[in-house]
């Protein structure tokens, strides 16, 4: 079932249309790094500011993780690619100071898992998952000329909406991040 999703012409067409619309109205571009207890998420970000305090944003990136024994299998390691769409509201004008936001990530992850490690009956395999990850975030934006840096804290949930293979870890997630953006 998940292989059909990976190769769906409709998903690819939708992403192409969304990226064209977003890139034609970009206000800022940059990089973000989020870390969480079992992984890291590096991304390329595009923001569209509107009004004096509002922003919609998109990002594409990688999800690199090692759930160790915190998942459903004894060991879970893997990676995947994905994208995010979200909205942010700033408390001060000109897109600086504190902001709050919501976003939703979709990650196409491949998880390599092992059970019964170092036992005669050790078992291993691979699971492909589509992860839906809604989060809320708070961040502080520091601006200098056309650059900004924003440390952030995000809280959310990882939900494996499509699983091809054995079940793997999902649940609450806490992410610490930093974003560096350039106004264009």
Q: What is the pLDDT of residues 124-140, one digit of tens each?
A: 999 999 999 999 999 99
Of 24, 161, 39, 34, which Cα lies nearest the Cα of 101?
A: 34
Closest CA to 135 of 159, 171, 104, 169: 104
Mean pLDDT on 11-32: 68
Average pLDDT of the residues in 2-27: 58
Asked if residue 43 lies in contact with residue 29, where contact means CB atoms within 8 angstroms, the answer is: no
Percent of the chain's residues with pLDDT above 90: 77
Whether the predicted pLDDT of 54 surpasses 70: yes
The pTM of this model reads 0.85
Q: Is the pLDDT of residue 8 over 90?
A: no
Give mean pLDDT, residues 29-57: 94
Query: How much is the pLDDT for 16?
Result: 59
State the average pLDDT over residues 87-115. Answer: 94
Fold of 2-183: Porin (2.40.160)
> How would residue 49 be classed by pLDDT, with cut points 50, 70 and 90?
confident
Q: Which residue is associated with the tokens 């994905």?
A: 82
The pLDDT score that the predictor gives to residue 10 is 56
pLDDT score for 125: 96
In the chain, where the domains are located:
2-183
Tell whether the model's pLDDT for residue 181 goes beyond 70: yes
| Whether pLDDT at 157 is above 80 | yes
In this structure, are residues 61 and 44 in contact, taking their beta carbons and an 8 Å threshold? yes
Mean pLDDT to the nearest integer, 53-69? 93
Q: Are 2 and 162 in contact (CB under 8 A)?
A: yes
Those residues whose C-beta lies under 8 Å from the C-beta of residue 59, and which sit 6 or more positions away, are 32, 43, 44, 45, 46, 83, 84
How high does pLDDT run on average in the chain?
A: 89
């Amino acid at each position: 079932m998940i292989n059909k999703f990976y190769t769906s012409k409709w998903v690819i067409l939708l992403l192409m249309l969304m990226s064209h619309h977003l890139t034609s109205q970009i206000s800022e571009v940059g990089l973000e790094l989020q870390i969480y207890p079992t992984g890291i998420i590096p991304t390329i970000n595009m923001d569209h500011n509107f009004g004096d305090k509002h922003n919609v944003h998109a990002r594409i990136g990688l999800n690199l993780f090692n759930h160790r024994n915190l998942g459903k299998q004894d060991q879970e390691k893997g990676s995947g690619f994905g994208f995010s769409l979200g909205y942010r509201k700033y408390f001060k004008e000109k897109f600086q100071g504190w902001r709050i936001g919501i976003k939703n990530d979709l990650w196409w992850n491949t998880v390599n898992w092992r059970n019964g490690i170092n036992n005669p009956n050790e078992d291993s395999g691979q699971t492909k998952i589509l992860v839906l990850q809604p989060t809320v975030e708070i961040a502080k934006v520091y601006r200098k000329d056309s650059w900004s840096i924003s440390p952030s804290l995000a809280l959310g949930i990882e939900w494996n909406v499509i699983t091809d293979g054995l079940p793997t870890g999902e649940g609450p997630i806490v992410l610490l991040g930093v974003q560096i953006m350039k106004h264009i």
